[in-house]
């Protein structure tokens, strides 16, 4: 699959996430919660000022910096080493980046992330579509690793380069 397809996948995730959040603000914020299946699954408007599932509230800038670094690294690796990666892994990485960008937009624009999926039956944290895509993406990444679909041999080459540079530096230090 092409770079364009994975880029479109990221864009699709971001747009779909942002549309659902706009709908949550418009229709759920005024009423707070709407039970789809009473006491099992509700749509509940929540402003999450923390990380995943509401942990570490009010540390917005930490998440924004870390998220940006992680997403830039993932995008770099995706497109630099794409030829080594199976479509399962590329899709997982695309979903993860798209979800991260979706939540980053909220943090940047609003200062919080809009969450609305609420499994009241098990008292689980309220979450959103971006979180769902991130979880599915990470699941696909693990699946790719477990099935051994992608070729990670390029990592061995990088490790050999790093080790040879380290050995060269060690030799230089002992010569002094």
The residues annotated with a catalytic role in the active site are 115, 131
Coil vs helix vs strand at 42 = strand
Q: Taking the CB of residue 54, how many other CB atoms lie within 10 A of it?
A: 15
Q: Where are the alpha helices (DSSP H) in the chain?
A: 3-23, 60-80, 87-110, 129-147, 153-175
Compute φ and ψ for 49, nearest 5 degrees. -100, 10
In angstroms, rounded to a whole number, what is the distance separating the alpha carbons of residues 61 and 77? 24
**What three-state secondary structure class fits 26?**
helix
């Amino acid at each position: 699959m092409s770079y364009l397809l994975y880029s479109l996948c990221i864009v699709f995730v971001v747009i779909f996430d942002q549309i659902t959040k706009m709908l949550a603000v418009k229709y759920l914020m005024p009423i707070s919660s709407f039970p789809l299946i009473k006491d099992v699954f509700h749509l509940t408007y929540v402003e999450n000022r923390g990380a995943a599932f509401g942990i570490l509230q009010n540390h917005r800038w930490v998440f924004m910096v870390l998220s940006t670094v992680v997403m830039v690294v993932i995008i770099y690796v995706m497109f630099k080493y794409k030829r080594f990666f199976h479509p399962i892994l590329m899709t997982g990485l695309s979903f993860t980046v798209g979800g991260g960008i979706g939540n980053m937009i909220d943090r940047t624009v609003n200062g919080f992330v809009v969450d609305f999926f609420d499994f009241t039956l098990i008292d689980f944290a309220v979450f959103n579509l971006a979180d769902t895509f991130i979880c599915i993406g990470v699941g696909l990444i693990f699946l790719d690793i477990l099935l051994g679909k992608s070729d990670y041999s390029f990592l061995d080459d990088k490790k050999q380069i790093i080790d040879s540079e380290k050995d060269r530096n060690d030799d230089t230090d002992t010569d002094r």
